[in-house]
Amino acid sequence: MKYIIFGDDGKEYGPADAETLRKWAEAGRVLPNTQVRNVMMKKWNKALDLDFLKDAFEKQGEKVEEQKTAFEHGMDFLKSIFQPQKQVKEKGTAFKYAYVHDPASLLLRAGAALFDGILLLFYAIVLTLLFSLEIKAGVDANMAFLLTFVFLFTGILLYYGIALGVYAQTFGMWFWGIMIVSSDIGEVFLGRAYFHVVMMILLGIAAPFVVYLNPKKRSLHEYISGTRIIRIAARPKS
């Protein structure tokens, strides 16, 4: 019996016999939601519906778990605590991913942070000048300081939240060619972007160490918020 695979790139692959299909599934080239049909029929079905592939899909999952490092298992544990469990939609087959994105390196992140830091420094200087004017106008020093701090924090939150949620990158990230995406390389909207920013403020001090040690180059706040920072330029998949 021969089968045809329908890739997410809109192309058909095959025909392939059952044994070849099993090897593709074990190698991760065919996933449970991959569309498959018998060459004698026009109806498409999910690969998971084929009984002879179920063992291959189990091995596929076991292989993914075995290849995880201790660090990745630790991150999975943290995500199970901070992120609610939800039904995850299967991705398309490997045929779809002709190109892959590299994670943003620590150097690129540092460059973007420095660029954005300079912009926010000018904002802080303006607030400081206003703080001085408030004191000269007779405003209580403690109240003026509190207002300045609130405006500074709010400005930082708005800058990062709107920039990441709407444009997927800040000015610094744009300059250095990196951007934010969801864990599955999808779009990040305002809600997730603001959650990412809040986690970044709380855990950002540890980010350089985690990114340096983590082979996947993701920080704790990225794992918790379900995001990742990647390079904009993609490379052909080997």
pLDDT over threshold 70, residue 82: no
- Strands 35-38 and 2-6, bridge-based pairing: antiparallel
Do both 154 and 229 map to the same domain? yes
Highest mean pLDDT among 1-5, 79-83, 152-156 belongs to: 152-156
Do both 61 and 119 map to the same domain? no
pLDDT over threshold 80, residue 33: no
Q: Which residue has the higher pLDDT, 235 or 92?
A: 235
Do both 109 and 207 map to the same domain? yes
Q: Lowest-confidence range among 19-33, 112-126, 149-163?
A: 19-33
Percent of the chain with pLDDT over 70: 79
**Residue 67, both tokens:** 């290849």
130 inside domain: yes
pLDDT confidence band for 93 (50 / 70 / 90)? very low
Closest CA to 160 of 176, 146, 149, 171: 171
Residue 129 sits in which domain range?
102-236
89 inside domain: no
What's the number of domains the chain is made of?
2
Inter-axis angle of helices 141-162 and 106-136, to 10 degrees? 150
147 inside domain: yes
Q: What are phi and psi of 36, to 5 degrees?
A: -135, 145
Helix (H) or strand (E) holding 140: none
Domain endpoint, select from 13, 46, 68: 68
The per-residue pLDDT for 45 is: 78
